[in-house]
Chain A
Amino acid sequence: MVNLTIDGKKIKVDEGTTILQAAEKNDIKIPSLCFHPLLEPYAACRVCVVEVIKKGESEIVTSCNTKVTEGIEVKTDSERAMKARELNVEMLLAQAPDAEAVQELAKDLGIKETRFEVKDPDEKCILCGLCVRACEEVVGADAISFNERGAERTVSTPFGQESEACIGCTACSFFCPTGAITVEDLLGREVIHDELHLGPSSAVRVPIRQAVPMVPFIDEEACIHFKTGECKLCEQVCEKEAVDHDMEDEEVKVEVGSVVLASGFKPFDAKRIQAYGYGRFNNVITALEFEKLVNASGPTGGKIRLANGKEPESVGIVHCVGSRDENYNEYCSRVCCMYSLKFAHLLNEKTNAQVYDFYIDMRCFGKGYEEFYHRLLEEGTKFIRGRVSEITDVAVTEKEEGKLVIRVEDTLIGAMRRIPVDMVVLSIGLEPGIDQNEIARVFNISCSQDTFFLERHPKLGPVSTFSDGIFLAGACQSPKDIPDTVAQAGAAASEALSLADKGTFELEPVTAEIDKDLCSGCQICVSLCPFTAITYNEEEGISEINDALCKGCGTCVSACPSGASQQRHYRDNQIFAEIEGIFIE
C-alpha cells in the first residue's frame, strides 16, 4: 500500500496504481483525452497533467501513466497544472475545432474561444492515437499508424493507400473519442436489412433481441481474436470470467428413455423467388427482418426505416411467399396471414405509411383473429386480392420513380395493377428444417410427403410417432403458431412424462418366440435380428429371444428353416389361413 495526498485528501492505494486511477478511486475527476482503460497509457494529449510535490520539489507530470510513490502530494488543479492544461486544451481547440470532446472540455475549463490559428474548422482528429494503439495492441493488425511529423502528423494507412493488413474490424472507429473515424457502407446504406446484419453489431452479441436464453455469443466470423490472435478485450472486462475463446464443441452421451423432437422449422428462402427481388433490392425484406426492425431493442430502436435511413411512405406486404405454391411448397404455412396483419397494424401505428396487403385468402382461424382483421380494415389498410407476380424498380410513370413497383392481378376487380411502394415485406412461409430426413433416420421415424415429421395419427396421435418414446412438438411436425405449439408441446411433454411415470412397461404383443423343440441351433436368426434380441444358448444348443428387446418385425420367423421361430399373432399358420380366406368363394 502507498500513502499519498491528493488535493488535500490523504489516501491509500495499492502499489502500481497510477495517479489517475488513484484519483478516480477517490472520486476526483482528472480530465483526459488520449487515455482509455483498456489500452496502455500513451500520455500524448497532456490534458491529465497534475502537479506533484516530492521531497520539496515540484514537477508537472501526466497522471495517466505516472505511478504513485510514497508520501507525494498531488495537486490536480494547482495554478501551474491548470495553466498547462488550459493552454493545451485551447491549442487543441484550434487544431481540431469540430471535436466535440474538446469543445466540452474547453467549456468545463471556461475557455470560450481559442487565440490560436485555426487551419481547418472541420477537423475532428486530435491525434490522441487511440485508434493506432487499438489497432496495434488490441487487434494486432497494425494497419494504421502516424504519418508525417509535427504539425503535419496524421493518422493513416501506409502512404494513404488501401491496406491489406486492415481486417475491417472498425475497432479504430470504436475507440475514437471524437468521431473522426467513421465507418461507411460501401453501398451507401444507413440501415442494413440483411438477415444477419440488421445494422452494426459487434462480434459479441445476443443473436436477436428476443433470444432465449438472453446470453451473448461470439460470432467467429467477426471476432478479431479468431482473425489475428489478439484482442480478447471481452475476456478482460468480464468480471465473472465467463468468456472462453477456446471453448470447443463437446460431445455428450446422455441415456434417456424418451425423446421429444422440437427441432423447429426453416424459414423459406425468399431469394428462390427471383421475381420478388429479395437480395437485389435493398428495401425488399423478409418478415423476420421486419420483426428485427420493429423491435424496440433492435438496431434501429424500433423505428421502421428504409436502407437510406428515411421513413417509408408506403409499404406492401406480400402474403404466401413460398407457400400455397406448386412451384415451391403446396401447403399453407398457417402463421403468415396473422403476422402479416400484425405488421400492417404496427405500420399503421408507427408510421404514416400507406399499407397494402396482397393476399390470396385471409386465414384468420383463431381466437380473436377475425376481429383483428376487421380492425385493420378500419385502420385504412388496403387489401388487394391477388398473387404478386413481380416486384420491379423500373418505373413507367413519374409516380413510380425511385419506388418499388408491385405488379399484381387484382382478382376482385379483374385487372393488372402496378402499385408503387417504398418498402416490400415478404411474408415468407415455414419449411421443414434442412436435416429433417437425417433426424428422422436417427430416431427411426418417418416424414410425411412435405418432409415434416409424421405423427402417429393425424387426428388421434398428433404428438407421438410410430417409434415408441419419440414425441413431436412444434413446427417440425407441421407449421403452426405459438398457441398451437405451446399446446402440442405440453401434450408431448406429458406423454413423455407418463411413459416414465407409469412404473410399468408395455411390451410389444407381437413379439417372436422360439419353440425349443423345433430349434436346431442353426443360428441363422441370431445374425438377422436388427435389435440383437436373439442370443444362442450354448448349453442347450438353441437360440433364445429376449422379449423386452424384440420389436416384432418377424424377420427371424420368415428366415427360420424349421419354423421354430414364430411371431405371436402373425404365425405362419395364421397367415396361411388369411391367404386361404381370400380365395374362399
Chain B
Amino acid sequence: MEKANEKAYRLHLMVCAGTACVSNNSFGIKDALEKEINKQGLEDEVLVVTTGCNGFCERGPLLVVQPGNVFYQQLEEKDIPHLVEEHFLKGRPVKKLMYKPPKEKSPIPILSDINFFKKQVLIALRNRGLIDPEKIDEYIARDGYSALAKALTEMEPKQIINEVKDSGLRGRGGGGFPTGLKWEFVSKSSTNGQERYIVCNGDEGDPGAFMDRSILEADPHAVIEGMIIGAKAIGASKGFVYVRNEYPLAVSRLIKALEQARGYGLLGKDILGSGFDFDIKIVRGAGAFVCGEETALMASIEGRLGEPRPRPPYPAEKGLWDNPTCINNVETWANVPVIINRSADWYSNIGTKTSKGTKVFSLVGKINNTGLVEVPMGITLREIIEDIGGGIPDGKKFKAVQTGGPSGGCIPAKNIDLPIDYESLTEVGSMMGSGGMVVMDEDTCMVDVAKYFISFTQNESCGKCTPCREGTKAMYEILDRITKGEGKEEDIDLLEDLAKSIKDSALCGLGNTAPNPVLTTLKYFKDEYEIHIKEKKCPAHVCRELNTYTIDEKTCLDVGHGCDLCRKNCSANAISGETKTAHQVIQEKCIKCGVCYDVCRFDAVKVK
C-alpha cells in the first residue's frame, strides 16, 4: 500500500475531482498544473491533490490553495501557466480567476468568505476538498477511524446505541426515522442463531440528486467507519453497500477504500485487535429507482426480483434472508463517527428540537449558485436561496422550491421563511426526502413540474400494485392532456381523488409519495391548472402547445430590419415575410415549437 506522504510541501493545490468537475476537464487542469509546476521547478514545494466534490458545482473546475483557503473557479487549461507563475511562484494571487458574486465589483479570494460556503456547517462533508479520497492516511490524519477505535475499545454496544439515540440523528435517506431507535430494534431482534446485517443504501435515485454520490466519491471512509461502528453496536458481522450502477466512480473509490481499510486491519477479522469481525461487500444496482426502497433493495441483494413487499415485518425484524437487518442511508452513516467522537450532546446542539444535526442538500434549478451544501437543520429557505444560493439569476422572481425529489412537494414563495426540518416540511405538504432542492422561478410551469415528476415515478414504478402502476399512468395522462390544452373541467377533481387514493393504498414508499408533487401544486397553484384547462393557456409559456407566437411588426422592421432569421429557422414554413420587411406568423401552420422566439435577437417575437 502507498505510504502517506511524509514530505512537507509549501503549498497544496486541492483540485476538485467530483464527477461534475471531472466532466468539466478537472483532470486536464490537474495535468496542466503538474506540467507547469515541473516546468517552473516547483515540484518539491507545491503538491497537486485531487479531492472529492467541493460543492460549488456551478463554478467548476475548482481549485483551493492551502494553506490560505484561496478559491479559484471556472479554470481553463490556458489559465494555468499564468496562475502558476503569478501565485505559486511569485506569491501574487490571480484576481481574475477568483469568484466574483454577480452584481459585485471585486472578487472574494477566501473560500470561507464566500456566501455559498459561509453558512454551511460541514459534518457529513467534513473532509470536503481537503483529502484525496484514494489515500486512507489522509482520512486518518483528519481524525479518521478514531471514533471506531473509541467504539471498539471504550464502549459497549448498548452505549454506542444510546449515544446515537441521544444525538437525535434521524435517517437521512428521507424517512427521518430515529437512527438510534432503529439500531436498538435490530439489536434486540431474535435471529435464531443466524446473522444480523448492516446495509448502506447508496441507490440515490432522485433525478438530479448527488448528495450520496459526492460523499461516496469524496470520503468513502466516512461511510465505512460509520458502518463498522454500527455493526459493533447491533452485533452484525456482514455488511453491504448497495450502490447504483450509474455511479462507477463511487464504486471504484469504495473498492479502493475497502481494500485499504482491510490492509490496515480496520475491516475483516479481529478489527483493531478487539476480537470483533466485520466485513463489507459491494452490491451494484441494476437501474431501478424502486430499489432504493429498503425491501426492494434487500430483494435485489438477495438476487430476487427488485420489487417491494408489504411492511410489517420491518427489516429490523426480518430483513436480508429473513434476518434482522439495519439499513441506513450513506449520509446517515457518514454522521456516525462524528457523533461518537464529539458526543451526542455536541451534535444535538445543532439543529431544531425535533431535527438534530445538519443535512446535505443538492441545490439546483433556477439559482445562481448551484451545488452541494450542508446546512444545520432549522436554517430557513430564504437563507439557502438568497444567501447561499445567491438568489434567482436574470432578475427573475422566485416562485417555488421543490424538496424531496419525486416524493416531495412544491413549497410556494410565500413560505420562503420556513425553517427546514422534517416536521415543518411535512406540514406544508412536502418532505425532506434525501435532500434534493429544486428552485423555480416565474418561468416555471407548475403543471409541467408535476407532469415531469409523475412521468419519472410512472417510469420507475415497479408495477406490482395497482394504484402506483395504473394510478401514476392515469395521473400522467391527465396532466399530459392538460398541458396540451385538452384538459377537462372534471380533471382537477379526478386528479385530487386519484392522488389521495394512491397515497392511501399504494404498497410502498414510491407509490405512497408519488402523488405529492401533484397534491402540492394543486394546493398552492390551482390557478395555473385552471388557466391551462379553462383558457387553454400556460402562464409560464412552458407548455408549448398552448402558446401563441406573434411577431411585433414594428419591432421587427424598425429594430430588426426584417433580418429573416426566424423564417429561415422555422421548420413548418409558418412565417411569412422577406428580408427588410416585417415578418408575420401564419397561425394555422405554426406548430408552436418556439424556435422563432428563441432565435430572435430583437425580442420581436412575442409569446402569449
Contacts and interface: CB of A to CB of B under 8 A. Distances in A.
Direct contact of A and B (CB under 8 A): yes
Interface residues of A, number: 32
Contacts of A127: 463-464, 466, 469
Main secondary structure of the interface of B (DSSP, over half): helix
Nearest to B307: A146
B505 A146 contact: no
Given A60-B504, A91-B470, A146-B307, A152 B477 contact: no
A62 interface: yes
6 contacts: A62-B310, A83-B497, A91-B474, A146-B463, A150-B461, A151-B463
B310 A117 contact: no
Interface in B478-517: 494, 497-498, 500-501, 504-507
A459 interface: no
A411 to B, nearest CB: 71
Contacts of B305: 145-146
B465 A116 contact: no
B400 interface: no
Interface stretch (A43-51, A215-223, A291-299): A43-51
B505 A95 contact: no
Given A49-B504, A49-B505, A127-B463, A150 B474 contact: no
A115 interface: yes
B463 A84 contact: no
Contacts of B290: 149
Given A83-B501, A87-B501, A88-B505, A150 B466 contact: no
B477 A46 contact: no
Contact of A151 (B288, B473, B498): B473
A80 B469 contact: no
B504 A149 contact: no
Nearest to A85: B505
B467 interface: yes
Interface string A78-95: 001001110110011011
B461 A84 contact: no
A148 B507 contact: no
Interface residues of B, number: 31
Given A87-B498, A95-B470, A150 B504 contact: no
A129 to B, nearest CB: 8
Nearest to B464: A44
Contacts of B477: 116-117
Main secondary structure of the interface of A (DSSP, over half): mixed
Given A83-B501, A87-B498, A43 B310 contact: yes
B459 interface: yes
Given A116-B474, A149-B288, A151-B458, A88 B501 contact: yes
B471 interface: yes
A338 B462 CA distance: 66
**Most chain A beta-carbon contacts within 10 A, residue among B288, B458, B467, B494:** B467
A153 interface: yes
A65 interface: yes
Given A46-B506, A151-B461, 8 more contacts: A43-B310, A44-B466, A60-B505, A146-B463, A146-B464, A149-B461, A153-B464, A153-B469
**Most chain A beta-carbon contacts within 10 A, residue among B288, B307, B504:** B504
A83 B500 contact: yes
Nearest to A153: B463
B460 interface: yes
A47 B466 contact: yes
A92 B470 contact: yes
A44 B504 contact: no
Contacts of A44: 464-466, 507
Contacts of B466: 44-47, 88, 91-92, 95, 127
